[in-house]
Each structure stands twice: as structure tokens, then as C-alpha cells.
């Protein structure tokens, strides 16, 4: 069996990845595929924490001020945070059916459905071999779930932030819209910021840069890509 390059990871999954080919909501086949890969990674004795988005249900930033409703940004962001909790419970259910002990920890207290986020408790869960799913972002409006992923990764001393997307790395432009877009194999944090590459927001990238936390951006929907990233294979784009 190959040896994992990283012993503790944070996996960032956007809400859009959960919807699969649906226009919104949760595609169970995507959850099953993720759970199989998580199980393979657990066999490598890797500590796994997961940060979820909620865009498949509600996107706070896009809904703020849309449709002439003029929804307050804070309200919209809190609604988006609650959407991530729905995704977290769905993923926990599938992982535990697969025999993987899992804990959902929320930045917004809701004790009936999730544990409140406490840093030391999260680390203890990881040490006991449980997968920890972080939901509700940072618990604050105006911060993205990418920033939450970078923050949690720094707090639990993760060795890498794996960002799973619908494309196989970072490009000079959106490859789904611009055919001539160029893929980068490696980038420095400062290059991502200077070029204004939209893979993560500037706050998240800056947090990773300050904590010397490498970011690997890859395509979630390619078979075994999460495992390959954990093994240190040539997957996606590495920012360091």
C-alpha cells in the first residue's frame, strides 16, 4: 500500500459538487462516491476534516440584493451557513452507513443536530479516528466557506488544504467558458493574489500564505482524485 504524503488534511467541498447533474439539491450518487474515497483515505491512517459549502441549496452572496428583494447581506449569509448544515448532515449519514465514525461541528450552535465547534474537541475527534465535518462557515457573515476552510486548517494544524472543484486545477480563465485558458501546475500564493485568480477568495489565500499551508486544487469528479492528492500524486494545481 502506498504511503500518504499528508497525515492530516482539510478537504473543502463546495455545495455545487453535491448537486451533481441536478440543478440544485443533493445527488446521492455524489455522496456515495465521496464516501468511498474517504473510506480509502481512512485506510491510509490519515486524519480527515471536511469543510462544506451550501451553494447547492442557497448562496448568500448571490442572493443578497437579487430579484429586487434587497435582502440584507448578513441575513443572506446566515441562510447560506444553514444550508451547509443540511449538507453536513447528509454527508455524515452516508459516511456512517459506510462504517466511518463522523462528527458534525457547527460554528453556529444548534445542539439538537450538531456539536458546537470547539478547537480542542475537534482535534480530539481526529486523534480518535473520526472524520470531522465543519459546517456553518466561520459563524460570521461576510466570510466565505473557503476562508472557513483555511481558518480551520490552520487551527487543527492540517498539513494541506484540498479544494475539490468541477475543473482539474487553476486556469488563467474559466476553462468552461474560455477554450484557450491555460492551466497552471504550480503557483505561489502571491501569484494567485496578483493575477486575481478566482479559485479562492483573497482572505483564504492570505491565511494559507501566512500559515505556509499548501493548497491543492483538483477535479472531484475524476475517479480517486482525492486519494491521489493525499498520496501526493500529480493532481490539479498546487499553490505553495
Closest CA to 147 of 159, 131, 134: 134
Instruction: Round to whole Å and give the CA distance between 200 and 207.
Output: 11
CATH, residue 28:
3.40.1160.10
Instruction: Round to whole Å and give the CA distance between 181 and 198.
Output: 13
CB 18 within 8 A of CB 31: yes
Tell whether 2 is covered by a domain: no
Domain range for 29 is 8-239
User: Largest Cα–Cα distance in the chain?
Assistant: 56
**Residues facing residue 105 across a β-bridge:** 115, 134
Cell of 25: 439539491
pLDDT tens per residue across span 48-78: 999 999 999 987 656 555 555 678 989 999 9
Tell whether 37 is covered by a domain: yes
The count of structural domains within the chain is: 1
Instruction: Give the sheet arrangement for strand 160-165, strand by strand.
Output: 115-116, 102-106, 131-135, 47-52, 8-13, 160-165, 215-219, 237-239, 186-187
Residue whose C-alpha cell is 450538531: 114
CB 53 within 8 A of CB 14: yes
Tell whether 151 is covered by a domain: yes
Tell whether 29 is covered by a domain: yes
Tell whether 69 is covered by a domain: yes
Tell whether 24 is covered by a domain: yes
In tens digits, what is the pLDDT along the chain, a chain of 240 residues?
Answer: 689 999 999 999 999 989 988 888 999 999 999 999 999 999 999 999 999 999 999 876 565 555 556 789 899 999 999 999 999 999 999 999 999 999 999 999 999 999 999 999 999 999 999 999 999 999 999 999 999 999 999 999 999 999 998 889 999 988 888 888 899 999 999 999 999 888 899 999 999 999 999 999 999 988 899 999 999 999 999 999
161 three-class SS: strand
Which pLDDT score, from 0 to 100, does residue 68 have?
A: 54
CB 107 within 8 A of CB 81: yes
Tell me how far apart the terminal alpha carbons of the chain are, to the nearest angstrom: 27
Instruction: Round to whole Å and give the CA distance between 118 and 44.
Output: 26
Q: pTM, whole model, 2 decimals?
A: 0.94
pLDDT tens per residue across span 134-158: 999 999 999 999 999 999 999 999 9
CB 50 within 8 A of CB 110: no
What's the per-residue H, E or C state across 25-71? CCCHHHHHHHHHHHHHHHCCCCEEEEEECCCCCCCHHHHCCHHHCCC
CB 84 within 8 A of CB 145: yes
Tell whether 1 is covered by a domain: no
The DSSP annotation for 106-144 comes to: ESS--TTTSEEP-HHHHHHHHHTT-EEEEESTTSSTT--
Which pLDDT score, from 0 to 100, does residue 125 have?
A: 98
Amino acid at each position: 500500500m502506498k504511503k500518504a504524503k499528508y497525515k492530516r488534511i482539510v478537504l473543502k467541498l463546495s455545495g455545487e459538487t453535491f448537486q451533481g447533474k441536478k440543478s440544485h439539491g443533493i445527488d446521492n450518487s455524489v455522496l456515495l462516491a465521496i464516501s468511498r474515497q474517504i473510506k480509502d483515505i481512512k485506510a491510509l491512517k490519515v486524519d480527515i476534516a471536511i469543510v462544506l459549502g451550501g451553494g447547492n441549496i442557497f448562496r448568500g452572496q448571490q442572493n443578497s440584493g437579487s430579484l429586487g428583494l434587497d435582502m440584507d447581506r448578513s441575513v443572506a449569509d446566515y441562510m447560506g451557513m444553514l444550508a451547509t448544515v443540511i449538507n453536513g448532515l447528509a454527508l455524515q449519514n452516508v459516511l456512517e452507513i459506510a462504517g466511518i465514525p463522523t462528527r458534525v461541528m457547527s460554528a453556529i450552535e444548534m445542539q439538537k443536530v450538531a456539536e458546537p465547534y470547539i478547537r480542542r474537541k475537534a482535534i480530539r475527534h481526529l486523534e480518535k479516528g473520526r472524520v470531522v465535518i465543519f459546517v456553518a462557515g466561520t459563524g460570521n457573515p461576510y466570510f466565505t466557506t473557503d476562508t472557513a476552510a483555511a481558518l480551520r486548517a490552520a487551527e487543527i494544524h492540517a498539513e494541506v488544504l484540498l479544494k475539490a472543484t468541477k475543473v482539474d486545477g487553476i486556469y488563467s480563465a474559466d476553462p468552461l467558458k474560455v477554450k484557450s485558458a491555460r492551466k497552471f501546475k504550480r503557483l505561489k500564493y502571491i501569484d494567485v493574489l496578483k493575477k486575481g485568480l478566482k479559485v479562492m477568495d483573497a482572505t483564504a489565500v492570505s491565511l494559507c500564505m501566512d500559515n505556509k499551508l499548501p493548497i491543492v486544487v483538483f477535479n472531484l469528479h475524476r475517479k480517486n482524485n482525492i486519494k491521489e492528492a493525499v498520496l501526493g500524486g500529480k493532481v490539479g494545481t498546487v499553490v505553495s
